[in-house]
Amino acid sequence: MVDPGQDGAWDPAAYLQNARERARPFLDLVSRLDVPAPATVVDLGCGEGSTTALLADRWPAARVTGVDSSAAMLAAAPVRPGLEFRLGDVRDWRPESSVDVLVSNAVLHWVPGHERLLARWADDLSRGGALAVQVPGNFRAPTHALLADLCRSPRWAGRLADVAPSPSAVLEPAGYLDVLTGSGLTADVWETTYLHVLTGPDPVLGWVRSTVLRPVLARLDDDAAAAFTAEYAAGLREAYPPRSDGTTVLPFRRLFAVGTRPS
């Protein structure tokens, strides 16, 4: 995770309420990696480390390191041989030597201008090494568009306009293709829209509360946060109505890019 400075603390328990759905893009991302026996594997923005542990499972002989800026998330990380975690900002991270596999899952949308960071990471790869990233591509979906409009509305703009989610937070797939190939990598870029079937009251609100809504609520006191949340929740219920069986479907677009350094 990346903390741009205005965010509240990350909450591992809240983030993991939809752990299965959140892990699926990570699994789809790393399934496209073709690095048989890496010695060094790094997970940048590893969160609470559950997906980092999957990298250690896949490559048990590798030294696997997770890096994250949230001490709260790292406190929940698994403890096991061959797996280490470090506190640090992915924007500042530099390896001691070249890296065989570098993964960054659902992190770079927090980093403005992250195409420059990607190019730097590409330079850190060993020959035959691979860089794999995944970012949400739903910044024009109702979850984000409604939130942005509300943050910029007359009632809230004075406090929240600058934390409204931006539709330009990520590149389109062709943009990531250009960054990777421009860095001398062979690129594999694709997108997927998952249909997450959610349950419970206001399930879409529950989904976004631990992610895109977090920096917004961090700006508000309790009363203002409750008022803002109620207004936002009403819009989400209209945009994502429950189905006849009581479940709610959340379409979620994800963008994937894997770049491999020729050996």
Q: Domain for residue 4, yes or no?
A: no
Q: From CA 67, how far away is CA 99, in angstroms rounded?
A: 14
Please state the domain count of the chain: 1
Residue spans of beta strands (DSSP E) within the chain: 40-44, 63-68, 83-87, 99-105, 125-136, 186-198, 248-260
Q: Domain for residue 126, yes or no?
A: yes
Q: Domain for residue 97, yes or no?
A: yes
pLDDT, tens digit (0-9, with 9 covering 90-100), for 208-222: 998 899 999 999 999
Q: Domain for residue 184, yes or no?
A: yes
Question: Burial, 241: exposed, middle or buried (Cβ in 10 Å; 0-12, 13-18, 19+)?
Answer: exposed
- Determine the pLDDT at residue 20: 80
pLDDT of residue 225 exceeding 60, the answer is yes
Q: Domain for residue 149, yes or no?
A: yes
Q: Domain for residue 148, yes or no?
A: yes
pLDDT, tens digit (0-9, with 9 covering 90-100), for 49-88: 999 999 999 999 999 999 999 999 999 999 988 899 999 9
- 90 token code pair: 């992915």
- How many beta carbons lie within 10 A of that of residue 91, not counting itself? 16
pLDDT, tens digit (0-9, with 9 covering 90-100), for 92-101: 999 999 999 9
The CATH number of the domain holding residue 227 is 3.40.50.150
Q: Which domain holds residue 175?
A: 12-260
Q: From CA 210, how far away is CA 67, in angstroms rounded?
A: 19
Q: Domain for residue 1, yes or no?
A: no
Q: Domain for residue 7, yes or no?
A: no
Between 60 and 8, the higher pLDDT residue: 60
